[in-house]
Amino acid sequence: GEIDLILQDGDTHVFAEVRLRSGAAFGGAAASIDARKRAKLVRTAQHYLSRLQRIPPCRFDAVLLQSTDMKNIEWIKNAFTA
């Protein structure tokens, strides 16, 4: 599997998916994180966490870009739950 970013926010491990879409014709960047992609992210995060001695609090975020213009970044905390 692949996770774009693994970050830490205090005690919480954050698994972030980064999506870039140039338009909203197919629902935009957020819509591209469908059920199949979410399930794959969860499986990959579980594999990563299985290597730790203690499972920390975790969340899944989405970082959405509608263009390469860095002024238009949307960061959704807790974009979905596992």
pLDDT of residue 23: 58
* Measured distance CA(30)–CA(74) in Å, rounded: 10
Surface-to-core class of residue 15, CB atoms within 10 Å of its CB (0-12 exposed, 13-18 middle, 19+ buried): buried
Ranking 3-7, 55-59, 68-72 by mean pLDDT, the lowest is 68-72
Question: Does the CA dihedral 66-74-29-7 come out positive or negative?
Answer: positive
Higher pLDDT pick, 77 / 24: 77
Would you place residue 26 in the very low, low, confident or very high pLDDT band (cuts 50, 70, 90)?
low
